[in-house]
């Protein structure tokens, strides 16, 4: 059983132009949420930048930035 999916942003999750298919992601994310699979973003990006990439789900996503905001 899968309990979590962790992604790196640059060079992995994002396209070369720093974009991703948001609609497709949200569909997949909803399926993950229904199965209680956590989505984790590990990145060298700053915390606020990660929130900007995932505005619809940032509050329920684990964001692991380069620097912790506290």
Only one residue has tokens 């199965």, namely 35
CA torsion sign for 42, 46, 51, 52 is negative
How far apart, in whole angstroms, are the C-alpha atoms of residue 25 and residue 66? 23
User: Which candidate in 8, 10, 16, 17 is catalytic?
Assistant: 8
Active-site annotation holds for 10: no
Greatest distance between any 2 Cα atoms in the chain: 33
Q: List the catalytic residues.
A: 8
């Amino acid at each position: 059983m899968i309990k979590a999916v962790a992604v790196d942003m640059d060079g992995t999750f994002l396209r070369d132009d720093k974009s991703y298919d948001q609609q497709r992601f949200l569909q997949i994310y909803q399926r993950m949420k229904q199965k209680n699979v956590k989505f984790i973003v590990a990145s060298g990006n700053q915390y606020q930048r990660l929130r900007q990439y995932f505005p619809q789900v940032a509050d329920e996503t684990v964001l692991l930035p380069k620097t912790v905001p506290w």
